[in-house]
Amino acid sequence: MSADFPHIPVMLNECLDALAIRADGAYLDCTLGGGGHSSEIFGRLGPGGRLFSIDLDTEAIAAASPRVLAAGNGGAFCALHGNFHDAKALLAAQSVSHIDGALLDLGVSSRQFDDASRGFSYRADAPLDMRMDQTRGRTAADICNTYSEGELLRVLSEWGEEKWAARIAKFIVERRAEKPIATTGDLVAIVDAAIPKRVREKDGSHPARRTFQALRIEVNDELGVLRRGLDAAIRWLEPGGVVAVISYHSLEDRIVKEMFAEHAQGCTCPPELPVCVCGNTPILEVLTRKPISPSQEEVNANTRARSAKLRVARKLG
């Protein structure tokens, strides 16, 4: 990992405690990113231990893999290029029959966020891209320039929980009629114009934060990917295996909470039935009734951890 791309893994100790890593176990890091979590997991594996780390970003794989390998103590490491919602196929291609633990860190990697050219940040003017995998798919600029006003309203409302979604969508459509929206600076200027100054001054966060979040989620289908990827990780776990998920906003955390609860639910028959006929049995035990938050000490050292929430569940036999 280049010194130009420092990476601070969020809630590292909490994740390692939750996974309870066995030296000869098989583990899955669904988001390799900067390699922070993967390095620490891999360093705890010995001969017979295996770590599989997935990332959409080929640059992230190239940068993080040497760092992970340098932490090794005899285990085997394999970086997999792809989306973690394809974990089942990616693992099957490696002839993996099971995993003993899975970690999903849902945040945008610091390296991607700090690289202005990727278009994730509203603090630097750059092409309006936001794709985690720059080899395919539509960009945030494509969405801004082609979605109808109603579609933009939906994206901003649902994925950004933006109170001014209707006005921002209207301003986007009006501005693109004059010239295409091409850069992050173009979009920030539109949001600034759409949200009244008195509101912008009162809001403690950047006025474009929710708009950028919404577009990033739409570009990368982040919530759909989360549902499919988490389901695959749960299905692939051995009995007794643990899945740990770090989310960074309420939409993600709600999905994780609901999916854990769904998989932890047993009989779904109406209570008036004397005997169960559905045959449903729980496959998870939820270990965190309330999500774990980072310590104040960690937040002080790494402000990007401030909104993180960790939920953990164990696969039942």
Could you tell me the CATH number of the domain that includes residue 51?
3.40.50.150
Examine residue 186 and state whether it is found in any structural domain, yes or no. yes
pLDDT at 205: 75
pLDDT at 204: 66
Residue written as token pair 């794989």: 61
- For residues 26 and 59, state if they share a domain: yes
pLDDT at 119: 87
Final residue in a domain of this structure, among 164, 186, 220? 220
Give dist(CA 65, CA 19) in Å, integer. 21
Q: Are 310 and 15 in contact (CB under 8 A)?
A: yes
pLDDT at 7: 67
- For residues 141 and 197, state if they share a domain: yes
pLDDT of 5 above 80 = no
Examine residue 117 and state whether it is found in any structural domain, yes or no. no
Q: CA-CA distances (angstroms) from residue 1 to 33, 35, 111, 283?
A: 11, 8, 11, 38
- For residues 153 and 201, state if they share a domain: yes
Examine residue 299 and state whether it is found in any structural domain, yes or no. yes
Question: pLDDT by residue (tens digit) across 57-110?
Answer: 888 899 999 999 999 999 999 999 988 888 888 999 999 989 999 999 987 766
Nearest one of 27, 33, 61, 31 to 226, comparing CA atoms: 31
pLDDT of 14 above 90 = yes
Q: Specify the number of domains making up the chain.
A: 2
Final residue in a domain of this structure, among 166, 185, 220? 220
- For residues 88 and 230, state if they share a domain: yes
Give dist(CA 184, CA 179) in Å, integer. 14
Q: Are 27 and 54 in contact (CB under 8 A)?
A: no
Which pLDDT band holds residue 2 (cuts at 50, 70, 90)? very low
Distance separating the N- and C-terminal Cα atoms of the chain = 39
- For residues 202 and 244, state if they share a domain: no
Examine residue 21 and state whether it is found in any structural domain, yes or no. yes
Final residue in a domain of this structure, among 196, 220, 244? 220
Examine residue 122 and state whether it is found in any structural domain, yes or no. no
pLDDT of 3 above 50 = no
Question: pLDDT by residue (tens digit) across 121-173?
Answer: 888 899 999 998 788 889 999 999 999 999 999 999 999 999 999 999 999 99
pLDDT at 317: 82
The four Cα atoms 181, 184, 186, 190 give a dihedral, to 10 degrees, of: 100
Examine residue 276 and state whether it is found in any structural domain, yes or no. yes
**CB hemisphere CA count around 120 (13 angstroms):** 17
Examine residue 156 and state whether it is found in any structural domain, yes or no. yes
As a whole-number percent, the residues of the chain with pLDDT over 90 amount to 71
Instruction: Mean pLDDT check: name the lowest of 19-28, 162-171, 204-213.
Output: 204-213
- For residues 38 and 18, state if they share a domain: yes
- In this prediction, residues 253-282 reach a mean pLDDT of 87
Find the CATH number of the domain harbouring 169: 1.10.150.170
- For residues 103 and 16, state if they share a domain: yes
The identity of residue 19, as a single letter, is: L
Residue 202's domain spans which residues? 133-220
Average model confidence (pLDDT) across the chain: 91
pTM of the model: 0.85
- For residues 215 and 72, state if they share a domain: no
pLDDT of 293 above 90 = yes
- For residues 92 and 146, state if they share a domain: no
Given the DSSP bridges, would you call strands 76-81 and 99-105 parallel, antiparallel or unpaired?
Answer: unpaired
- For residues 101 and 24, state if they share a domain: yes
Examine residue 107 and state whether it is found in any structural domain, yes or no. yes
Which pLDDT band holds residue 112 (cuts at 50, 70, 90)? low
- For residues 235 and 284, state if they share a domain: yes
pLDDT of 1 above 60 = no
Structure tokens at 12: 């590292």
268 versus 37: the higher-pLDDT residue is: 37
- For residues 22 and 161, state if they share a domain: no
Nearest one of 65, 217, 94 to 156, comparing CA atoms: 217
